Amino acid sequence: MNALPFDFRGETLHLLPSGALHWPAPRTLCVADLHLGKSERMARLGGPMLPPYETEETLTRLTQDIALTDPATVICLGDSFDDMAAAQGLETTMTDRLASLMAGRSWVWVLGNHDPGPVNLGGSCRAEYRADPLVFRHIAEPGAMGEISGHYHPKARISLRGRSLSRRCAVVDATRVILPAYGAYTGGLFCDRPELERLVSSDADMLVLGPSPIRLPLASSSIRPARRSSST
Amino acid sequence: MTRSLPPAITGWFASRGWSIHPHQHAMLDRAHAPCQLLIAPTGGGKTMAGFLPTLADLADGTHKGLHTLYVSPLKALAADIKRNLTGPITEMGLPIRVEDRTGDTSSHTKRRQRADPPHILLTTPESLALMVSYEDAHRTFAGLQRIIVDEIHALAESKRGDQLMLALSRLSALAPGLRRVGLSATVEDPAAIARILARHPDPCEILEADPGPDPDIAMLTTEAPPPWSGGGGKYAIPAVLEQVKRHRTTLIFHNTRAQAELFFHHLWLANEDQLPIGIHHGALAREQREKVEQAMVDGRLRAIVCTGSLDLGIDWGDVDLVIQVGAPKNVKRLVQRIGRANHRYNAPSKALIVPANRFEVIECTAALEAVRARQLDGDTDHTGPLDVLCQHILIRAAAGPFLADDLFAEIRTAGAYATLPRDSFDRCLDFAATGGYALRAYDQWQRLVQRPDGQWQLRDPRATTRIRMNIGTIVDADKMQVRYQKTRGGAPLGEVEEYFASMLRKGDTFLIGGQIVRYEGMREMVVEVSRTPYLKPKIATFMGTKFATSTQLSDRILHMFRAKDWPDLPIHTREWLHLQRRVSRLPERDRLLVESFPHDGREHVVAYGFAGRNAQQTLGLLLSQRMEMMGLNPMGFVATDYATLIWGLDPLDDPRPLFTRDNLVETMEAWLADNAVMKRTFKASAIIAGLIDRNQPGGKRKTGRQATFSTDILYDTLRKYDPGHVMLDITRAEAMRGLVDFGRIEAMLDRIGDRIDHVRLTRVTPLAAPLFLEPGRVPIAGSADQRLLEEEAQRLMTAAGLAEIAT
């Protein structure tokens, strides 16, 4: 498997090509921002009727990653559902698939801003999940140490011999990891956006997803809009 | 028998010493026909011919409400006609109210116009579609007698035209007896336009006015030769200025906005006499455009640098010279642009063509021959696209409940949809109602629901807002406004594509509105700039519409290449062709020339297919797909009307496998699956059909952007989980006839057979050089990506002293 290993707070973590984070020592797999039920929610709110296949696609990816890593613990890092009603409204075929993934594993639903309450799908619901030396929560907190979070859907923009390439990525510095969104219908926020950039130190790296994830310095995202002088 | 005109009108003509043109009489005589198409050259009094029957009808002041609807493709044209109509109506003392209604009209006025419409309303296809979507449309349009579609040749083969004709099918149902009038510039096949205009199966009478004298048209000769490549025509500026000085008013047409911007900038630098010269194109802010239009009407300008935004019949008064910079790509458009000069009947138009580079010298020569031979380009048969139909169904639903049978019958009265199969209609209706997925996911949240009486209606009436906000068939790249910094609320300078804006760094300079500005930053989706008069600009990449060179022009060019020498061509172009023949060879009509050479660290392949821009683009996709399979690591390509240039990491040895007919369809299918052109086509169709929203209620876009995701994801998901979905069928059909132009590829492959000449060279050839400056490069997402990414990671990590942690 083309996972990218990296050291973080003395632990060895692996970023999988799909964007899942594998922590082999305690047999833990972590995925952020699944946004299950997104198409249903948009249609319910009178928005566009998108192809209703993203839950199936996302669970298919998750099934593959679980088969590869056989985790004892799976952490869904918040925004696992596009909203609380979407969690209730999942098709039976999808809840069945989810149940078979959960069977025999410890399953943690970390709360997110889209899914701030408990769901009746089994597993445990937590505002955050601690497994020393790491802490898993949905939105990064200032000053946190050893924190794994999601929420921002980071994306890299890289200039290669005159072409611009855009891919999902994780952002890593000495204190935190911000994971890419795992769900099929998720957009991204470029790493050089101030919301994201102010969270990490200047020597942070991007772990860019692809057939083999690749590590690049964050500062190398060479196309960057000038930031507002007033915002600093 | 000439229908008697009211004395107020005849008196007005007489007081000016004018007589009514024969075709204006003819239009009056036949005013009761259900459909009339008038073909007349620019300046032939077309508009008056269209409106005279209306003025005659309304002269006695008895008609209440809307009588005549006038639709033009341009907002500016509607405003212009209003001016030109209000004058005579006032002078004739007729009791007629004329108003215009476009995207620029205030919402207050729009509301009033629906409740209390004027006698004559001037509008655009999009504004009309919006009016048709209102619940009170049947009241607004009750009593409507005539509809005039101006410049219909410009709408005939476009989705805007399809949308307009669908709106007309609705109007004909709301106002039975509605008569249609089309006004068109000179076209090759008037019957094709008549078919689209008429309410099917009504007949349409075609009236052709005297085409007038032959135009006085020539190539502009300059002291300096045109450059080897490039598209700006900058070299010709002294000669162009000289012409401007010698004429009263000159229109200087360009094919793209970027070129117009650059040319205008250099024209100003060279304008030592301070001649008043303006610029006009569609990406400029409305305030800017209006200022220029007013100055033009007042006769204060000696020249206007412009693009297609001035193509159509706006009456700018005293234009006595038209200059076309860059090859005109198709003879019809050239003829119509030439017609902008001497906007008076029976006076020859005067025009000069300026080739932008040496290849265009050849193209322009071919175009001139075609104009002199009065040989226009033929139209292809047009069937209405289904994405526009899907939007029309939603528009109809916004106006109120409907029966599927009624709507189907109504739609089939639009010429382009006359042969629409019921099955296609039902699929579009299902798509509009439920999303049309194989998995019935949205039973609860359907957009349209069927009532017990069988009528379809919106599930949630609030959806009307969303539908109305997304009306229209022009899909632009996302645009961002450009403003001067620290002038909050100040006049915007214009727009640039979001992609272009994202590449700017603080301090970069670019041209907009003829001024060089410096990029300062971005604030809430507005690009902020400052003034910097003395720097050299980085070129703005925003582009105007591009057209493919017609088959006729391509054939004429290839015919010219067969000559031993070209005594009629300027010496520089002659030498250039001889040079190409010496270092490589010249393309021939029944052979295919393929050149390959290294340049700038990459391998390059050029195929001179002369199949037009779109087909050459498709050829780029096919060839790069095959090169990927051959392990040549192609990285991208760019296409022009005559050639495709592909670059990649490895050299080509044998081009023959690239052009074999074997597996052509399979290769097509393979790249249909996954390429940028299909995804771009899908995005446009998805927006038009209402699969995704272009605009959302509630105004501003989120600055956070995590919420939006690329339509590429939807395309990939549909292909994987719902390959029979109607949107994929629409995308395929759109791509095949639009961006793909597969017919011209097949015609070319048939023509060349196995006669492929591969020339391997050590450097760029004379004919290939212009390709390197073409915008619109298409990247290929293949194995080269990963290889480069790995190399880049290694390089950066080594540079940072971190090589040991990189994988």
Q: What DSSP assignment string belongs to B307-362? A: -GGG-S----S---EEEEES--SSHHHHHHHHTTSS-STTS--EEEEE-SSHHHHH
Nearest by CB to residue B796, choosing from A39, A164, A216, is A216
User: Are A215 and B439 inside 8 Å of each other by CB?
Assistant: no
Which two three-digit tokens encode residue B781?
Answer: 């997402």
**Hey, are the CB atoms on A50 and B636 less than 8 Å from each other?**
no
- pLDDT confidence of residue B513: 66
Tell me which residues of chain A, numbers 74 to 103, contact chain B at a CB-CB cutoff of 8 Å: 91
- Pairing mode of beta strands B205-208, B35-39: parallel
The pLDDT value recorded for residue A176 is: 96
Q: What is the pairing mode between strands B120-123 and B35-39?
A: unpaired
Which residues on B lie below 8 Å from A187 (Cβ)? 705-710
The ipTM, to two decimals, is 0.89
Closest by CA position to B256, among listed B37, B543, B580, B31:
B543
In this structure, are strands B68-71 and B146-149 parallel, antiparallel, or unpaired?
parallel
CA gyration radius for chain A? 17
In this structure, what token pair is assigned to residue B401?
A: 């409940």
Q: What is the pLDDT of residues B713-733, one digit of tens each?
A: 999 999 999 999 999 999 888
Instruction: State both tokens at B213.
Output: 């004298």
**Residues of chain A scoring pLDDT < 50:** 162, 222-232
Number of residues in chain B: 807
- What Cα–Cα distance (Å) separates residue B642 from each residue in B379, B421, B551, B638, B748? 20, 37, 11, 11, 12
Domain ranges of chain A: 4-231
> What 8-state DSSP symbol labels residue B453?
T
Minimum Cα–Cα distance from A219: chain B residue: B796
Tokens for B676, please give them.
């940028």
Tokens of B765: 């050839």
Q: Does A189 touch chain B (CB under 8 A)?
A: yes
pLDDT in tens, B743-789: 788 888 888 888 999 999 999 888 888 787 666 666 666 666 767 77
Q: Closest Cα of chain A to B529: distance in Å? A: 12
To test the contact with chain A by mutation, choose from B442, B523, B706 the residue with the greatest count of A C-beta atoms within 10 A, namely B706
> Is A53 within 8 Å of B722 when comparing Cβ atoms?
yes
Does residue A67 belong to the interface with chain B, where contact is any CB pair within 8 Å? no
Query: String of b and e for A31-67 (b: at least 16 CB within 10 Å)?
Result: bbbbbbbbbbbbbbebbbbbbbbbbbbbbebbeebbe
B303-306 β-sheet, strand order: B216-219, B350-354, B321-325, B250-253, B303-306, B277-280
- What CATH number does the domain located at B7-208 have? 3.40.50.300
Phi, psi of B702 (to 5 degrees): -60, 140
Secondary structure (DSSP) of B112-140: HHHHS--SEEEE-HHHHHHHHTSTTHHHH
Q: What is the pLDDT of residue B65?
A: 92
Neighbour tally for B214: CB within 10 Å: 11
Preceding omega of B651 cis (within 30 degrees of 0): no
Sign of the C-alpha dihedral computed for residues B509, B515, B520 and B522 taken in this order: negative
Q: How many CA atoms lie within 13 A of A181 on its CB side?
A: 28
Position B166 confidence tier, pLDDT thresholds 50, 70, 90: very high
B437 pLDDT more than 80: yes
Q: Which one of A32-41, B41-50, B279-288, B663-672 scores highest in mean pLDDT?
A: A32-41
Specify the pLDDT at position B170. Answer: 97
CB contact under 8 A, A51 and B693: no
Q: Do B706 and A160 touch (CB under 8 A)?
A: no
Pairwise CB contact (< 8 Å): A53 & B705: no
Average pLDDT, chain B: 83
List the single residue in A with minimal CA-CA distance to B525: A225
**What's residue B477's pLDDT?**
56
The two three-digit tokens of residue B165, written as one number: 């004709």
Does domain B216-372 match CATH 3.40.50.300? yes
Say what the pLDDT of residue A206 is: 94
d(CA B500, CA B527): 11
User: Cis peptide before B201, with omega less than 30 degrees from 0?
Assistant: yes
Q: Using DSSP, state whether B460 is helix, strand or coil.
A: coil
At residue B688, the 3 state secondary structure works out as: helix
Q: Which residues of B touch A14 (CB under 8 A)?
A: none
Quote the percentage of chain B above a pLDDT of 90: 36
How do the domains of chain B map onto residue ranges?
7-208, 216-372, 479-531, 584-788
Whether residue A44 and residue B718 make contact (CB cut-off 8 A), yes or no, is no
User: Mind listing the pLDDT tens digit for each residue in B264-287?
Assistant: 888 888 888 889 998 888 777 777
Q: What is the pLDDT of residues B554-571, one digit of tens each?
A: 888 998 899 999 988 888
Chain B, nearest residue to A195 by Cα: B704
Quote the crossing angle between the two packed helices B711-721 and B726-737, to the nearest 10°. 110
Q: What is the pLDDT of residues A167-180, one digit of tens each?
A: 899 999 999 999 99
Compute the distance between CA of residue B49 and CA of residue B38 in angstroms, rounded to an integer: 9
Please determine whether the domains at B7-208 and B216-372 fall in the same fold group of CATH. Answer: yes
Q: Say whether residue A35 is in contact with chain B using an 8 A CB cutoff.
A: no
Query: What residues form DSSP beta bridges with B251?
Result: B304, B322
| pLDDT at residue B805 tops 60 | no
Nearest C-alpha in B relative to A188? B706
Taking all residues of chain A, what is their mean pLDDT, rounded to a whole number? 89
Q: State residue B523 phi and psi, 5-degree precision.
A: -135, 115
Interface test with B, best of A14, A34, A53, A203 (most B CBs within 10 A): A53
Choose among A24, A56, A60: nearest CA to A37: A56
For the stretch B238-253, what's the b/e string if a residue is b when 16 or more beta carbons lie within 10 angstroms of its beta carbon?
ebbbebbeebebbbbb
| Chain B environment of A44 (Cβ under 8 Å) | 444-445
Return the pLDDT at A226.
33
Give the confidence band of B476 by pLDDT, cuts at 50, 70, 90. Answer: low
CA B548 – CA A71 distance, rounded (Å): 57
More confident position, B702 or B486 = B486
Gyration radius (Cα) of chain B, Å? 28
- Which residue of chain B has the CA closest to A40? B442
Q: What is the DSSP string of B232-248?
A: S-GGGHHHHHHHHHHSS
| Helices and strands, counts by H and E, chain B | 29, 26
B770 to A97, A181, B85, B325, B606: CA distances (angstroms)? 57, 43, 47, 16, 12
Cα distances (Å, whole numbers) of residue B799 to A162, A216, B788, B802, B803:
20, 11, 16, 8, 8
**pLDDT tens-digit profile of B595-654?**
999 998 889 999 999 988 878 888 887 888 888 888 898 988 888 888 999 999 999 999
Which pair of tokens denotes residue B198? 């008429």
Predicted confidence (pLDDT) at residue B108 exceeds the cutoff of 70: yes
In chain B, what residues touch A211 (CB-CB under 8 Å)? 786
Q: What are phi and psi of A38, to 5 degrees?
A: -65, -45
Q: Report the alpha-carbon distance of residue B180 to residue A146 in Å, rounded.
A: 73
Look at residues A206, A184, A195 and name the one whose alpha carbon lies nearest to residue A60: A184
* CA proximity to B79, closest of B100, B95, B94: B100
Please give the C-alpha separations between residue B791 and each of A215, A219, B632, B785, B787, in angstroms, as whole numbers: 12, 17, 17, 10, 6
Nearest CA in chain A to B524: A228
Residue of chain A whose alpha carbon sits nearest to that of B795: A216
Determine whether the interchain pair B790/A214 forms a contact, defined as Cβ–Cβ distance below 8 Å: yes
Judge contact between B685 and B732, C-beta under 8 A: no
Residue-level pLDDT at B3: 60
Other Cβ atoms less than 10 A from the Cβ of B257: the count is 26
pLDDT score, position B501: 65
**Angstrom distance (rounded) from CA A147 to CA A139:** 10
Contact: A53, B713; criterion CB under 8 Å: no
Residue of B nearest to A155 (CA): B706
What is the pLDDT confidence band of residue B544, given thresholds at 50, 70 and 90? very low
Alpha carbon distance B738, B735 (integer Å): 5
Find out if CATH 2.40.50 is the number for domain A4-231: no
Q: What is the pLDDT of residue B333?
A: 72
Looking at residue A228, what is its pLDDT? 32
**Nearest Cβ partner for A217 among B441, B692, B800:** B800
Contact (Cβ atoms closer than 8 angstroms) between residue B491 and residue A74: no
Instruction: Give the span between the Cα atoms of B692 and B470, in whole angstroms.
Output: 9
Q: Do A214 and B462 count as a contact with CB atoms less than 8 A apart?
A: no
Query: Looking at chain A from residue 133 to 172, which residues have their Cβ under 8 Å from any Cβ of chain B?
Result: 152-153, 157-158, 160-161, 163-165
Which of B156-170, B354-368, B423-437, B535-549 is predicted least confidently?
Answer: B535-549
Dig out the tokens for B659 from the structure: 């052009």
Which own/partner contact pairs does B517-520 have at CB distance under 8 Å and 24+ positions apart?
B517/B482, B517/B484, B517/B493, B519/A226, B520/A226, B520/B485
Query: Between A and B, how many residue pairs show a Cβ–Cβ distance under 8 A?
Result: 151
Q: What is the pLDDT of residue A77?
A: 97
> What is the structure's pLDDT at B628?
85
Residue B630's identity, in one-letter code, is M
Q: H-type helices in chain A, by residue range?
A: 38-44, 54-69, 84-88, 92-102, 194-197
Sheet containing B756-760, strands listed edge to edge, beginning at the edge strand earlier in sequence: B756-760, B592-599, B602-608, B644-648, B634-639, B778-779
For residue B360, pLDDT over 80 is answered with yes
Task: Identify any residues that bridge with B352 across adjacent strands, giving them in sequence order.
Answer: B218, B323
